[in-house]
Amino acid sequence: MSSTKYILGIFDDPDEMMHGIDGLQKNSVPIYDVYTPMPIHGIDAKLGIKDSRLGYAAFMFGCMGGTTIFTIVYYFLVHDWPMDIGGKNFFAIPDFIPVTFEWTVLFASYGMAFTFFFATHLFPGRAPRVMDLRATNDKFVIAIDAKGNIPHEDINNILKEAGAVEVKHNDRKYVSYE
């Protein structure tokens, strides 16, 4: 029993990496994840990654911001301390719209940013979890969970055939922990 946890196929070229994904999928090897230094068109469809739900989070945060400030303004200016401003009604909705709009935008944008940080485990001061540091520079990395049934040699061959410049067998998942 080997102590290998993850097999990494390291590529110089994104097209060869895409061939590598094809080769693995043809042989029913489950892919754990793929790391690239830049976004690659069509890779999410190929790997079967679901559409991001960040937009729904932004929508909910926007609704929350709008409701919060509208309630606050209502409490201040209508309920608790009604003031006559320019002879308008106490509950003058048009006056409330600019601030409601601004808070909607504020909550939606901050909420979206923090949701993204939360979902991707990015916090200030936290060391990023990386399987191979070169994936943040100029290499394209396919990671395969080593607990599959196919012999590791076969996986090596598939990756090499597709043009991997290096195949690594890692004993630990990440090279960097906090």
Partner 1 sequence: MNTHNSLDEQFVFTGKAKTWSLAAIAIGVLLAAIGFLTGQGERTFANLLLMGYYFTCVCTAGVFFCALQYVAQAGWSASLLRVPQAFARVLPIAAVILLVIIIAGLNLTHHTEIEGKDAIAPYLYKIWHQAGVTTPGSENYDPVLAGKAGFLNVPFFLVRLIVFLGAYVIFGWLLAKYSETEDELGGLFYYKKSFTISAAFLVIFGFTQPVFSFDVVMSLEAHWFSTMFGWYNFAAMWVSCLSVITLTIILLRANGYMQWVTQDHLHNLGQLIFGFSIFWTYVWFAQFLLIYYANIPEESVYFLRRWEPEYKFWFWLNIVINFMGPLLIIMARDSKRTTSVLKATCILLIVGHWLDYFIMIMPGTVGDKVGFSYIELGVAVGFIGLFTFLMLNALSKFKSLIPKKHPFLQESLHHHI
- Which residues make up the interface to partner 1 (CB under 8 A)? 41-42, 51, 55, 59, 86-87, 94-95, 97-98
Beta strands in the chain, from DSSP E residues, in sequence order: 6-11, 33-35, 140-145, 166-170
Measured from the CB atom, is 23 or 62 closer to partner 1? 62
> How far apart are alpha carbons 33 and 43 in whole angstroms?
11
CB of 15 to partner 1, least distance (A): 14
* Cα separation, 24 vs 101, whole angstroms: 49
| In the complex, least distance from residue 95 CB atom to partner 1, rounded to whole angstroms | 7
Q: For residues 87 and 124, which CB has a smaller minimum distance to partner 1 in the complex?
A: 87
Contacts of residue 99, Cβ cutoff 8 Å, sequence gap at least 6: 69, 73
Tell me the closest approach of the beta carbon of residue 62 to partner 1, in angstroms.
10
Place of tokens 């080593």: 146
Least Cβ distance, residue 41 to partner 1 (angstroms): 5
CA pseudo-torsion sign 75, 81, 83, 88: positive
Cβ-based nearer residue to partner 1, 104 or 142: 104
Query: Judged by CB, which is closer to partner 1: 83, or 127?
Result: 83
